[in-house]
Amino acid sequence: MADVVDLIMADHREVERLFDVLQNEPDKRALTLPELSALFVAHSRAEEAEVYPVARSEAAEADEVAHSQEEHAQAEELLAQLKATDPNDPSFETKLNEFVEAVQHHVDEEESQVLPGLRDRLDEARREELGKAFAASREKHIGEQPGQETKQELLVQARNAGIEGAGGMSKEELTQALKSQ
């Protein structure tokens, strides 16, 4: 099984490839956007469930994880707006560019801050174990759409973001707390 850092970076490269198609081949947008959405959501959920808790506790990356969790929430909201826009609508291009910028910023930070911490602080066996868990979680979440998180997934996101008192919140309150960060 592959190292979790390698798996995450491979997903990042695939997202960038899909961005290129969306930006440069407008006739392929209708088919490419669902593929991008499925990968992005599954990747995010797998990071949130498997990687971020370990990065917080074992790799001393609490601040970076909280920030990454916030960026996931923002990007997912932008993705939902993009998906709600007809690819032929003139506003699609603007929404696509906002989403691409948000995700690219997240990828740049994650690859320069969080992932090096995982490589430095976790041994190879632990990174491979985490890679297996990440891949299984990603597979489980393929096909989910933005905004379809369960309450348990929202609780994990809230913990990753350092939100106090999340355990006593309803699903709606958790969603609002994550959005208002």
- What residue segments make up the domains of the chain, in order of their start? 4-179
Buried b (16+ CB within 10 A) or exposed e, 103-129: beebbeebeeebbebbbeebeeebbbb
In this prediction, residue 179 carries a pLDDT of 74
pTM exceeds 0.75 for this model: yes
Amino acid 1: pLDDT? 61
Residue ranges for the chain with pLDDT beneath 70: 1
Task: Note the pLDDT of residue 120.
Answer: 93
Q: What is the pLDDT of residue 168?
A: 84
Q: pLDDT digit string (tens) for 15-49?
A: 999 999 999 999 999 999 999 999 999 999 999 99
With a CB cutoff of 8 Å and minimum separation 6, the contacts of 145 are: 37, 41, 80, 83
